[in-house]
Structure 1
Amino acid sequence: MPDTLLPLKSANAFKGVTRLTPADGKRPAVARHVALVGTFAPRKCGIATFTTDIFEKLAEFEPGIRVDVYVLNDPAQPANYRDGVKLIDYDDPASYARAAEAINDSGADAVWLQHEYGIYGGDDGILVTDFVDRLAPPLILTPHTVLSDPSDRQAAILRHLVERASRMMVMSRHSRDLLATRYAAPNELIEIVEHGAPDRPFGRQQEFKRRLGIEGRDVLMTFGLLGPGKGVEHVIEALPSIVRRHPSVLYRIVGATHPNLIAQHGEEYREQLKQRVADLDLADHVEWVNRFCETEELLDQLEACDIYITPYPNMQQSTSGTLSYAVALGKAVVSTPYLHASELLEGGVGLLIEPNSSEAIAEAVDGLLDDRDALQTLQENAYAKGRGTIWPCFARAAAKLIDDAAAGPARPVSQVRAPSLDAVLQMSDATGMMQHAVGVVPDRSHGYCQDDNVRALMLMNLASNVSEAERRKWTRIYASFVQDSWNPDAGRFRNFMRFDRTYCEELGSDDSNGRTFWALGQTLEMAAEADMRVWATRWYDETLLHLSELDSPRAMAFLALGAAARLRVEPEHGASRKLLEKVATRLAYLLEVARRPDWVWFEAVLGYDNPRLSQALIESGQLLERAEFTKTGLESLEWIAERQTTASGHFRPIGSESFGHEHQSLPFDQQPLEAQAAIDASLTAWRATGQTVWKKHGRTAWQWFFGANDRGAVLADMATGRCRDGVNPRGVNLNCGAESILAFQLAYHSMLALDLETGDESEGALVGHQQQAGIAFALT
């Protein structure tokens, strides 16, 4: 029986962090694992046939590839699908969400999606867009219709799919060119894989004619779901002329009427054709096979014909599976020049005729039946062409497509040095650290921001691989930026500064102000110079009263982390203790209000830097000796850690596309800030509990920087200290902005502390270190 996808899973007690990649790094016995999405047999449509062919031919010729099938299903029209097929109710958004979650949890290396506007729910099948947004594995897209003149919505849907795709497979050059020019698909991501076809012996017409009881006839054939779009009426109009010259001709029209046409008009179209056959006195020359033929029967029917005719009036048709079959079986083809036929039949493989012309059909058929040598040559040319499209060739190309799309295996990081500070300093000047880069080159047009400069200040308090003179220089530059950004009239720090040192605003966001307060607390706790600790204490005291009223959750968490730093230095600092109690109480309240059975979080949405909320509660509980805060912080951290750990054990940060979506977490774009926050919070949780699971989770997040992620993308470079801006559906964002560089650099120091404090060097996470030496580390 097919599987109906179950409701979304509920929260578990932090099972995810134990699902780690095997230490030996061996790949599983199955070479690849792909989730195949589309319609499927026994549904009677071309895409269902194609999707079924992919499934069956990969099983036959590429058995090392495991294929899970997810079928677009109409509950109102149940079908008897084979065992193991998973059903997606085509018009139910929740069903798509469950399917995406099941795919993500399955450990699939890639998702191969068949796209046609009519098979997905919503206007023009728009529900497919939300579905692909939820998918974590690389997406292979096969668009079966690439329109040259789409509606605005149709164009937007296909562009969205193209933007998410790691690879695209088309079956014609025209579709490839149209994807590139009309839908902005990168050429290097598009593969042409011709429609697969059967491998049968050549020239068995007489044998199969005898089986069908039509021996001695010259057999013409058209196959497919019958409707006005097939152009069959033009062949019928051509028959009187053909029959006069070749009285043995039999035209076989094979296939049921299209279900959509039946639903609207019944068999009206077929009856009109039959009436025309009667009017032309062609009853002895036309045979109707009014049923949907399964593949093997279709092939037998094709083998019995001499000339296969596709008189389609729509010149934009990019794929015809039966045309591919006919060519591979060595049939002489007479066809209108629609896209697929124009490419497949070029070079003497078939005859192209003008559309909507019975005279052209008669002339082509008469010419072939008059010249049997020409007929034989055309059949031989077709058969030779078809050798390149038979199923073993198709399966081999499909396997390569899957392999090219799939993320590479995670690579453990071996003995390496502490990250160089070069990337930080190259992004910095006498004003401060610039916030963005184009590739690896600083982008002056976006100027500076407070957020990055306070992070850079925090890094200078930790960095060990820098001379004291350099540390003093850059510490003062970043501290000066912080100091200058204070707006005493507003009682807030500004955030964004242009390259000409003019501010873009009078006061910055709550979060940037909270993060600045945290940096001041960290500086007064950890700065190497006494003078810098004095400076930070002054500004902490100056801003405490103003900033303590911030009430957005992350801003409050940052305030708590800053106050916690002050209390570790000065345990009796009353104002800091009061602030910490206030914030922790508020965060605990938010969690209770927003909590649901499957949602153990402070808000109905997931944003950025999520583990900071839990980290702030844990640190508050430890310093205030309030066990309930520690317990609540750990519970929420377990929940977010579970949500950010995949079934296969690697780290999957909450994607930035999740922001603003209630009770959802989307996989992209993944940003380094999230990995840093997970590592920092793991260090806090380790200090509170001593549980090794937190070391494991911290290491899982650390390995994300080095390829243990959904795209196998290496983001961080120890030699330069650079870090790419994140992981997107196609791979890595090549830009190296300040936030990403600093997240990586700061994450290193937390990972180092976590390893040193746990004292478990048997796993080889970070070795050969002392806190201030910062020499080298290795990852299992």
Structure 2
Amino acid sequence: MSVSIGAPTRYDHIPSPPFTHLRRLTDAGGVYEHARGTTPRREHGYCLDDVARALVVVSRESGPAHDDLREHYLSFVLAAQDDDGRFRNRRGTDLRFRGAPCVEDCWGRALWALGTAARDPRALAAFERGARWRSPSPRTMAFATLGAAEVLSIQPTHVGALDLLAAAAVAIGRPAPRADWPWPEPRLTYANAVLPEALLVAGDALGVSAMIIDGLGLLAWLIELQTRHGHLSLVPAAGRGPRDRGAGYDQQPIEAAALADACARAHRITGEQRWLDGISRSADWFLGANDTAKSLYDPVSGGGCDGLERYGRNENQGAESTLALMSTLQQARALLGAQA
């Protein structure tokens, strides 16, 4: 499947990722999950999902400016891991972790983060403990696959990472045999682009061209489905099925970030311009090229608003949304900077 996304002529309007609000959300316990406006809501505590996202973001940065955050977030992820390799997601302000260890999304995101930080022996050892597990969720497996790819970038024959990639590809499966709905699930839900990105990662690492073709086709279809009037119109929080039409709300920043990550992966594999256009569209969605023409980037706070609503935006600036903004801007800076 080949889709022409359409290329903006300039990329120099895209700002660098700000760290101001992320630091505001961070204290000795981790990253606060929620905020009221720009004020952290301490009563809700911390979650591994967000700290893992934060570790991915800071690990992408070169230089020592954010070494303190990198160490802090890595320490949180390591502390969240059980002796058997699984993870607990919730942490209270008393610094105690809640709940039973699991292989839910926090496990997949933790492995993604540990893989991104795997040049640190502590992170690599924790990844290896966690990578022995398998999740029943294809999306969770896809998150873990991104960490496996990072490990393979420094240890190309790492057996645990390769086995995880193969298992994730099986869990995700092939596109459905419907031209109008090739997606391997009955509905689009959240962080959707991570599924084709995982197929790209697995196909590239395992040398299986069919997986790359499947991943590129699903990603192109996903972009086409989410493009209206020249801008992104993202899958809303309630999801989207084959019969849904028109714009949906509440649109979540995590969708734009997952799309930018997947397009970055596709460009690295193929070198094709259309994937740079996808990254640009993702960044522009935060900057106001969306269904309500509202910017979700707050240049004063450095934060990202929690969602695009029918008549505006959610003014709260929680961790997930702020990190989605930062991640998208990182991809734009890395791959579009030379185009400016």
Identify the TM-score tier after normalising by the shorter chain.
over 0.9
Contact 1:420 1:719 (C-alpha < 8 Å) held by counterparts: no
What is the rounded CA distance, in whole Å, between the counterparts of 2:21 and 2:113 in structure 1?
21
Residue pairs, 1:433-444, within 5 angstroms: 433-444=31-42
2:258 pairs with 1:669: no
Report the counterpart of residue 151 of structure 2 in structure 1: 566
Report the counterpart of residue 124 of structure 2 in structure 1: 537
Contact 1:428 1:434 (C-alpha < 8 Å) held by counterparts: yes
Contact 2:16 2:330 (C-alpha < 8 Å) held by counterparts: no
Task: In structure 1, give the amino acid aligned to 2:200.
Answer: I
2:293 pairs with 1:712: yes
Match of 1:698 among 270, 279, 285: 279
Residue by residue over 1:465-511, the C-alpha shift from the partner in whole angstroms, topping out at 9 and shown as x without a partner, is xx72x52322222112111112336x421112222223332235611
Residue by residue over 1:119-162, the C-alpha shift from the partner in whole angstroms, topping out at 9 and shown as x without a partner, is xxxxxxxxxxxxxxxxxxxxxxxxxxxxxxxxxxxxxxxxxxxx
2:76 pairs with 1:481: yes
- Give the total of aligned pairs: 339
What is the rounded CA distance, in whole Å, between the counterparts of 1:644 and 1:654 in structure 2?
7
What is the rounded CA distance, in whole Å, between the counterparts of 1:505 and 1:602 in structure 2?
31
Task: In structure 1, give the amino acid aligned to 2:46.
Answer: Y
2:222 pairs with 1:640: yes
Match of 1:492 among 82, 86, 90: 86
Q: Note the C-alpha offset of 1:413.
A: 8.0
Contact 2:305 2:316 (C-alpha < 8 Å) held by counterparts: yes
Task: In structure 2, give the amino acid aligned to 1:463.
Answer: E
Residue by residue over 1:28-59, the C-alpha shift from the partner in whole angstroms, topping out at 9 and shown as x without a partner, is xxxxxxxxxxxxxxxxxxxxxxxxxxxxxxxx
Q: Note the C-alpha offset of 1:414.
A: 5.9
Residue pairs, 1:514-553, within 5 angstroms: 514-524=108-118, 533-545=120-132, 547=133, 549-553=134-138
Match of 1:471 among 53, 58, 66: 66
Q: Note the C-alpha offset of 1:450.
A: 0.3
CA distance change for structure 1 residues 416 and 562 in 2, over 3 Å: closer, same or farther? Answer: closer
CA distance change for structure 1 residues 495 and 508 in 2, over 3 Å: closer, same or farther? Answer: farther
Task: In structure 2, give the amino acid aligned to 1:710.
Answer: D
**For the pair shown, which has the larger CA radius of gyration, 1 or 2?**
1
Secondary structure of 2:98 counterpart: coil
Residue by residue over 1:372-400, the C-alpha shift from the partner in whole angstroms, topping out at 9 and shown as x without a partner, is xxxxxxxxxxxxxxxxxxxxxxxxxxxxx
Q: Note the C-alpha offset of 1:664.
A: 3.9
Report the counterpart of residue 611 of structure 1 in structure 2: 193
What is the rounded CA distance, in whole Å, between the counterparts of 1:509 and 1:446 in structure 2?
22
What is the rounded CA distance, in whole Å, between the counterparts of 2:108 and 2:303 in structure 1?
26
Contact 2:200 2:211 (C-alpha < 8 Å) held by counterparts: yes
2:334 pairs with 1:747: no
Match of 1:581 among 166, 179, 182: 166
What is the rounded CA distance, in whole Å, between the counterparts of 2:144 and 2:61 in structure 1?
23
TM-score by length of 1: 0.42
What is the rounded CA distance, in whole Å, between the counterparts of 1:706 and 1:415 in structure 2?
9
Secondary structure of 2:313 counterpart: strand
2:206 pairs with 1:624: yes
What is the rounded CA distance, in whole Å, between the counterparts of 1:461 and 1:584 in structure 2?
26
Contact 1:618 1:629 (C-alpha < 8 Å) held by counterparts: yes
Contact 1:605 1:664 (C-alpha < 8 Å) held by counterparts: no
Report the counterpart of residue 237 of structure 2 in structure 1: 656
Secondary structure of 1:658 counterpart: coil
Q: Note the C-alpha offset of 1:417.
A: 5.2
Match of 1:502 among 96, 99, 114: 96
Report the counterpart of residue 28 of structure 2 in structure 1: 430
Match of 1:687 among 254, 257, 268: 268
CA distance change for structure 1 residues 494 and 664 in 2, over 3 Å: closer, same or farther? Answer: farther
What is the rounded CA distance, in whole Å, between the counterparts of 1:596 and 1:460 in structure 2?
40
2:263 pairs with 1:678: no
Secondary structure of 1:420 counterpart: coil
Report the counterpart of residue 729 of structure 1 in structure 2: 310
Match of 2:57 among 456, 459, 478: 459
Task: In structure 2, give the amino acid aligned to 1:432.
Answer: G
Contact 1:437 1:736 (C-alpha < 8 Å) held by counterparts: yes
Contact 1:702 1:747 (C-alpha < 8 Å) held by counterparts: yes
Secondary structure of 2:232 counterpart: coil
- Two-structure CA RMSD over aligned residues (Å): 2.2
Task: In structure 2, give the amino acid aligned to 1:430.
Answer: A
Higher relative contact order (CA 8 A, sep 6+): 2
Task: In structure 2, give the amino acid aligned to 1:538.
Answer: A
CA distance change for structure 1 residues 502 and 744 in 2, over 3 Å: closer, same or farther? Answer: same
Contact 2:11 2:280 (C-alpha < 8 Å) held by counterparts: no
CA distance change for structure 1 residues 610 and 433 in 2, over 3 Å: closer, same or farther? Answer: same
What is the rounded CA distance, in whole Å, between the counterparts of 1:712 and 1:622 in structure 2?
37
